Amino acid sequence: MTTVQLFLKACLIMDQRVNLKWWPHFLLVCLLFGMSFGEVRYILPEEMQRGSVIGNVARDLGLKVTELDARRARIVAEGTSQLCELDTASGNLLITQRIDREELCAQAIVCILQYQLLLENPLQAYSLVLDIADINDNSPVFAVGKIQLDLVESTVLGRRFPLEIAHDPDLGTNSVREYKLIPNDHFALEISTQINGNAYPELVLKKALDREAQAEHVLKINGIDGGNPVRSGTASVHIRVLDANDNVPVFSQRVYKASVPENSAIGTLIAKLNATDLDEGLYGEIAYTFSHLSDKIGGVIEIDPVSGEVRLSGAIDYEDASMHELDVQAKDGGGQASHCKLVIDVLDVNDNKPIIEIKSASANVVENSKPGTMVALINIYDLDTGSSGRVTCRIQDGVPFKFVSEVKNYYMLVTDGILDRELQPQYNITVTATDAGSPSLSSVKVLTIVVNDINDNPPTFTQREYNANILENQPVGTFVMKVKAEDIDDGSNANILYQLSKDTKSEVSSFLTINSDTGELFTSLLFDYEQSVHFQIKVTARDGGDPPLSSTCTVNAFIKDQNDNAPVVLYPVQNTGFIVEDRVPVQAPKGYLVTKVVAVDADSGHNAWLSYRIIKATRPNLFMVGLHTGEIRTVRAFMEEDEPKQTVVVSVTDNGPESLSATATVSIEISDGLPVLNELFEFADASQDSDNLTLYLIIALSAVSALFVLLISGVFYFKLCRHNYVYRSTNASLPMFPTTYCPPSFTDLNRCGTLMKDERYDSFLTTGSWRGDFRFASSTDTDTLKQRSAAYQKHTLRRASTDRATLKVRAGVPQPCYVFQ
């Protein structure tokens, strides 16, 4: 940066000689030079009009103008001074407020304003430097428009009297360069130089004064700067000629130097000035005053006019000014005066905490951002200097963010890991800035970072498969069920729309409709159980992301039967005007099968259970019908008085909640000469026996249940045996098989054998009694027993010394495994 500083100084020298009309060319050269050092630097004169173009930022940074508005480009400044703005339509940097170099930087040689160009999506920052060049916009001004001097008429020729200097806020050649005195007979003007290099005027007596001839002299002095065009200021010098006052006050030092820490208490002694006057009486009394005090220092420092003590009268701040140079005048009672300089150095103390300013408008980051993505731009600085102005900043541990700094005092908060909004949608980042002062001061600011959602999670159904029951004959629009899906994303990415999947078969896709917002399914047609009992559809849940994600579930719809079909008589055929006659021999005994009414019901389950009853007959007690079979039989033998043609009306009723029925008219002719078929009669006897079938089934079920309980009890008993034993059959020819060689269909009682490990034999209970009944292996176990019998013979030979039992197994014939109880 040394080269840059030298170049800037050269620019400052050149700007005094360059006419304003050449400023654009001059700025272009300075800009190109500034960009060569890695930052965009604009050099511009102060006092440019509002709306003036400083430069085209988009072109100078290689950005597209359309990017500026799309990425919300804006200018942010350190502190609160915002003197320029960005025109996003053209990319030009425009002046928005009056830029006064003297107000911004006072008497600093270099006046630089630091700005940042901030762009979002993604967040980026560029450094912009404005170097404010001085122009001659201020005229020299004397602090006192009327300078009073009292001179004794006996003043020796050549005596010098320092005058008030003219002040010009401009710098360099634009500041005061010379003074001119209106020609007169008694005084001349000479220029002397201060320690800091500034010129100040001195009035020199050239001709002896004569009070009696002229008691007062009025002179005009002009302060002229070196700007182009030249500016000047004028003051009048009123000289009063007094009687003789031979000696002037004399300071012990021409320059006094003192220092004071900032924030010192009011009344703190800074320095004590001392001037002496050899005269006596009134002419020897000295009064101390400041020749000129600026507005900033006027209420801060005061001098005791009698003692010459300089003390603080207000708060003094290093950050306002680090050094003050004051002119002090010592004046005796006769009007004689002399001057000295008081230079006060303000010592910096660590009295300012670091300042943390968030420059980015919003701290948002997308959850799929890559590591290193800038989230926020933070400006951290300290108004103190030296070690007290060196700031370090940090954030708490355990967060996927870190600080990166590429520009002084500016820190970029960037991602340092993978973000997942579903795991943590928001981070509260605590930024701590600490200076290096003693003791150090810290500032803390909490920055809330919101993780923006992306559509990275598909909707998830609460069930992969739903079952729905639909009663047949329900009206169109009947509610069936509701499917529900959830999406852990946020905003529009979590808005779910339901629809029937395209994977659903076309023939069933029109069976149901779905509410796209709620997932409720409704019927779109009348269902008939007799035509379809089950169908399957797929429902897709699609979110509102871009691109959208989806998932699918299966809905199994089962049509439930209703009793909507009456029984239909198949036999005898019921035709209008003609009914088929069934003939029965006149010798038919009681219970003889005459005919059978055959009916069907298209419903299912209970709704299809049919019952038959005679509701009308020519002879009420001549025929009966089977309640569930529909068989019509004789109740008694026929007698002579019975009509040869009988009509029986049978009611066929289903078992629905609201039963439906049909009637069958049966025409029976009693004929003589027909043979009596024993099959029909015997079948009748058997059918009579079946009336007690239900009772027999109940008794059999009870018996089987009791036997099962006894069997389970026995199994547990043998499992709990602590002393292993096995009963041998008294018939030595009956074999006993170990577990390894018995088919898996045998009942196993573990831990009842007498041998352990390989030697242990497991017992098998048969399904019969202990008296020798046993359970034969099924035909499916034959091959298994063939293989295992051969293996067991080998095993027996090896164990002959320990087990003398003879195993007799006939090849190809499965043998029973049993144990007596």
Give 241's pLDDT tier (boundaries 50, 70, 90). Answer: confident
Query: What six digits make up the tokens of 558?
Result: 């089962």
pLDDT digits (tens, 9 = 90+) for 100-142: 888 888 777 788 888 888 888 777 888 888 898 888 888 888 8
pLDDT digits (tens, 9 = 90+) for 52-70: 999 998 899 888 888 888 8
CATH class of the region 355-452? mainly beta
pLDDT at residue 573, as a whole number: 87
Burial class of residue 152 (count of CB atoms within 10 Å of its CB; 0-12, 13-18, 19+): buried
pLDDT at residue 821, as a whole number: 29
pLDDT at residue 113, as a whole number: 85
Q: Could you check whether 141-242 and 460-560 share the same CATH topology?
A: yes
pLDDT at residue 197, as a whole number: 62
pLDDT digits (tens, 9 = 90+) for 767-790: 333 333 333 333 334 444 344 444
Strands 581-585, 661-671: parallel, antiparallel or unpaired by DSSP?
parallel
Check pLDDT > 90 for residue 156: no
For 63, other C-beta atoms within 10 Å of its C-beta total: 19
Check pLDDT > 60 for residue 159: yes
Q: How far apart are CA 100 and CA 50, in angstroms?
A: 12
Check pLDDT > 50 for residue 295: yes
Instruction: Report the DSSP beta bridge partners of residue 114.
Output: 129
pLDDT at residue 195, as a whole number: 61
Question: Any idea which fold 460-560 has?
Answer: Immunoglobulin-like (2.60.40)
Q: Average of pLDDT values for 596-611?
A: 91
Q: Name which residue leads in pLDDT, 255 or 577.
A: 255
**Percent residues over pLDDT 90 in the chain:** 38
pLDDT at residue 7, as a whole number: 40
Q: Is the CATH code 2.60.40.60 the one for domain 568-674?
A: yes
Q: Name which residue leads in pLDDT, 165 or 422.
A: 422
Give 536's pLDDT tier (boundaries 50, 70, 90). Answer: very high
Structural domain boundaries of the chain?
Answer: 39-129, 141-242, 250-347, 355-452, 460-560, 568-674
pLDDT at residue 196, as a whole number: 59
Q: Name which residue leads in pLDDT, 86 or 782.
A: 86
pLDDT digits (tens, 9 = 90+) for 23-44: 444 444 444 334 333 478 999 8
Check pLDDT > 90 for residue 635: yes
CATH dotted code for 39-129:
2.60.40.60
pLDDT at residue 361, as a whole number: 62
Q: Which helix (H) or strand (E) holds 491?
A: none
pLDDT at residue 284, as a whole number: 86
Q: Name which residue leads in pLDDT, 637 or 749.
A: 637
3-state secondary structure 172-239: HHHCEEEEEECCCCCEEEEEEECCCCCEEEEEEECCCCCCCCCCEEEEEEEEEECCCCCCEEEEEEEE
Q: Average of pLDDT values for 83-104?
A: 88
Burial class of residue 136 (count of CB atoms within 10 Å of its CB; 0-12, 13-18, 19+): buried
Q: How far apart are CA 27 and CA 24, in angstroms?
A: 5
Worst-scoring range by mean pLDDT, 230-239, 657-666, 724-733?
A: 724-733
Q: What is the pTM of this model?
A: 0.54
Helix 23-35 vs helix 2-15: angle between axes, to the nearest 10 degrees?
180
Q: Which helix (H) or strand (E) holds 285?
A: none
CATH dotted code for 250-347:
2.60.40.60
Average pLDDT over the chain, rounded to whole? 80
pLDDT digits (tens, 9 = 90+) for 719-751: 777 544 444 444 444 343 343 333 443 334 343
Q: How far is residue 736 from each of residues 85, 335, 390, 420, measured CA to CA in Å?
A: 106, 148, 98, 69
Give 615's pLDDT tier (boundaries 50, 70, 90). Answer: very high
Check pLDDT > 80 for residue 820: no
pLDDT at residue 763, as a whole number: 36
pLDDT at residue 668, as a whole number: 92
pLDDT digits (tens, 9 = 90+) for 339-395: 899 999 999 999 899 999 888 766 789 998 899 888 888 999 998 888 888 999 999
Helices (H), 16-100: 23-35, 57-61, 65-70
Instruction: Report the DSSP beta bridge partners of residue 557.
Output: 468, 535
Q: Could you say which architecture CATH assigns to the domain 141-242?
A: Sandwich (2.60)
Q: Average of pLDDT values for 643-660?
A: 92
